[in-house]
A and B are shown apart, each in its own frame.
Chain A
Amino acid sequence: MSNFAVNALWLFCASLQAAIGYRMWQRKSYRDYPLFFAYTLEQLVRFAVLFYCYQLHLQTNYFHAYAGFQAIEAILQIGVVCELFSDVFRPYEGIRQIGPSILRWASVFFLFSAILVAAYSTGADSYKYLGQMFAMERSVEIVQAGLLLFLALASSLLALEWKWQTLWIAFGFGLFSGVNLIAYTIRFQFGMSSQHQLSLLSNSAYTVAVLCWVRAFYFLPEESGPPGQPPAQWDVHSWNRALLQLLRR
């Protein structure tokens, strides 16, 4: 792909993210999705810094900035998945408390899986630091994709309904994270030989993910929340008691 096309794709994504950030600010959606808003802003700052370094051929600076932003992004991405978890469980008073504990145990499980994968795989990168970075990114993607999968499965089993916005945000992250998971794994195993194709694949997936987020904030009707939220009195406690009774048998 020519340099012009790379720059165009980069700028296209950044302008779409700026539009998402603006829309979130305008509609005060940052109250509902504060971490996703922070992630969007981080992507804009990341674009500005990396684009500057790339254009001026500041290779070392680019590399350090890239590594730093990847670390911040990893934290924010996991945070966004946690935010989606709480958003899906929030409307259901009876099981709202279960959400965080499910998330905690699922995180431990996928973190353990990521550690196992890291321990049992060997990289092909001659530059050790680069190999380690791809291994770390793959671990983050395993945790993120695993948590999203777990959330989707749990909500399907419990017949929980997602808000459209949440669903499209999750779609974007799911697509991006699934493709990146495969790309980082192949990149880590086969080294530089697969760099260009995988980079293109990853960038394309990211662009589609950004388009999903644009859809979430521009092309969906705003869903109004339930009128008033007085706590349910009669049923929840007895149901929870019954659940516990059943589990204790």
Chain B
Amino acid sequence: MEQSLATTITEMNLIIILAVTLLAALLGLALYRVAAGRTSGVGGTNPKALIEPLDVLAFNNLIDPAEENFLRENLPASIFRDIQRLRLRAAIEYVMCASGNAALLIALGKHLNSVAGGQRSQQARELVSAAVQLRLLSILVLCLLWIKIAFPGLRLSLKEVSIMHERLVREHAFLDRLRGSEHLLEPSN
């Protein structure tokens, strides 16, 4: 009895040592990742070239609840689930693309904010805010999409994502049009 209690205590201690070591290692990795992200800023590259185009119409179609209802009503349940999963996987690709674009726009906005003044600085700050919101939203939407893949019958509307992305792209285009901003977006030699 005493021996089994001692064994349990030793095992528990070992688990605790492993858990704290894992926590420490994860902390190191996470901080390294932050530093790596900090060093690979937009300074040396052209962010416009890195921003991936996003077909908003196709994405809207993928997440359209009416389209989903139509498929649900006209297809056998098992086929609907398979097709819905494929559609959701495609939607995930779009959201990840939007999220990547948002990260680039955050870096671009911060860069512009640090070098520009007046109206452009204000616009750059708004761009950063909007991009951060999109990034946050993308994370939430990705979680929801994974839930929908697990349960394809669940009714969730995700149209807001595309509206927000359109808005962000419009904002970026406006910022780009501002006189004198072109040289800031070109790669530095």
Residues of A within 8 A of B (CB): 91-95, 98, 117, 120-122, 138, 142, 145-146, 148-149, 152-153, 155-162, 164, 167, 170-171, 174-175, 177-179, 181-182, 185-186, 189, 224, 226-228, 230, 232-236, 239-240, 242-243, 245-247, 249
Contacts and interface: CB of A to CB of B under 8 A. Distances in A.
A92 B128 contact: yes
Contacts of B21: 182
B173 interface: no
A239 B129 contact: yes
A201 B184 CA distance: 47
Contacts of B26: 149
A167 B38 contact: yes
A233 to B, nearest CB: 8
How many chain B residues sit at the interface, stated as a range, is 35 or more
A94 B113 CA distance: 16
Nearest to B28: A178
A138 B105 CA distance: 40
Given A95-B133, A142-B20, A246-B158, A159 B103 contact: yes
Chain B interface mostly = helix
A118 to B, nearest CB: 10
A95 B136 contact: yes
| Most chain B CB atoms below 10 A, which of A94, A157, A164, A175 | A94
Contact of A156 (B37, B117, B121, B125): B37
Contacts of A186: 17
Interface of B: 9, 12-13, 16-17, 19-21, 23-28, 30-31, 33-35, 37-38, 41, 102-103, 106-107, 110, 113-114, 117, 121-122, 125-126, 128-137, 139-141, 144, 156-158, 160, 163-164, 167, 171
Contact of B160 (A94, A155, A235, A246): A246
A233 B171 CA distance: 14
Given A95-B132, A164-B38, A245 B160 contact: yes
B171 A235 contact: yes
B24 A122 contact: no
B38 A161 contact: yes
